[in-house]
Amino acid sequence: MGRRNAVLFVCGVMVAAVAGGARPVTSAAGQAQSAPSSRLARHFPNVPLRTQDNRDVRFYDDLVKGKVVLINFMFTTCTSLCPRSTANLVKVQELLGDHADRDVFLVSISVDPDHDTPAVLKRYAERYHTRPGWTFVTGKREDVDLIRRGLGVRDNDDQSQHTGMLIYGNEAFGRWASTPVMQSPATLAAIVLRVVDPRANGG
């Protein structure tokens, strides 16, 4: 079976087999698009937050835009899942190696913002020896709720119901998914690294 390279595109639809035998589909063009459209923007309310270093940031502009980011919800007085999940993410951050703070960032958002002041978050981060590239944030409760709902975290019971999933994504490429925080750190690191460079081959 002959294979030829010449392939024409019209409106993204393959035109092939013009004459003399079948030409294979080798690729096909979709709609040209340089960045994910504003359709995803509604998921990232650009609300003001404050970091554990008392820095004022905007959720979208400063923590998400153009980044690969791992996002979880936590609160420092949580005694059930949060301590284990934070400890697990510390190991994930180690496994991210050079990616951490270079092209992969962690954001932990307190769902108990009234209690979790920047100073409290700072002590919490220090207790777990988190490394650069991991931002703990607090803010107005309604702003945190906006983020939570934007990211689809909306179980209605107590706030610990918001703490089990890790949302990960590559904002520049529009790839977003989530996965349980409490998997082995190696599995988690492998899963999230898939979205770091979508141009690279390899699953």
Partner 1 sequence: MVTRRDLLKMGILGSSGFVTLPSGGGFGRVSRFFDHNNQGSSPRLTPFVDELPGTGNSPFQTLTNVDPFSNVQDYAQPFCGPRTHYYEIAVVERNVKFHRDLPPTSVWAYVDKWGGNIPDRLITFQYPKIRLGQQIGGGYLARVHNFLTTAPRDFGFPNVTVHFHGGHQPSPADGFPHDISNRPSSFPAQVTIPVGGFHDYAYPFADVGIFDGPIEEAERPSTYWFHDHFLDFTGQNVYRGLANIAPAFDELDAGDETASDTLALPSGAHDIPLVLMDKTFDISGTMVFDPFNGDGFLGDTMTVNGVVQPYCRVQRRKYRFRFLNGSNARLYQIFATNDLRQTFPMTQIATEGGLLGHPIRNLQSFSLFMSERVEVVVDFADRIFDGQQVVYFENRMAQSDGRKPDGVSSRGTKLVKFIIDPATVDDPSRVPDTLRPFAPISAAELNASEHRSFRFDRRHGVFTINGEPVDIEKPVSIVQRNKGQVWTFSNNSGGWWHPNHVHSEFMRVLRRNGRTPPLNELDGNAKKDTILLKGGDKVVVYVKFRDYPGPFVTHCHNLEHEDMAMMGRFDVVD
Q: Which residues bind partner 1 (CB under 8 A)?
A: 1, 11-17, 22-31, 33-37, 39-40, 42-43, 80-81, 149-155, 160-165, 167, 172-184, 186-187, 190-191, 194-195, 198-199, 201-203
Closer Cβ to partner 1, 91 or 122, answer by number? 91
CB of 130 to partner 1, least distance (A): 21
Closer Cβ to partner 1, 5 or 201, answer by number? 201
Rounded Cα distance between 74 and 43, Å, is: 19
CB of 169 to partner 1, least distance (A): 8
Q: Under 8 Å CB-to-CB from 163, ≥6 apart: which residues? A: 72, 73, 74, 75, 78, 81, 82, 85, 111, 181
CB of 8 to partner 1, least distance (A): 11
Closer Cβ to partner 1, 119 or 190, answer by number? 190
Closer Cβ to partner 1, 85 or 130, answer by number? 85
Closer Cβ to partner 1, 47 or 50, answer by number? 47
CB of 51 to partner 1, least distance (A): 23
Residues 193, 88, 71: CA angle, nearest 5 degrees:
55
CB of 122 to partner 1, least distance (A): 25
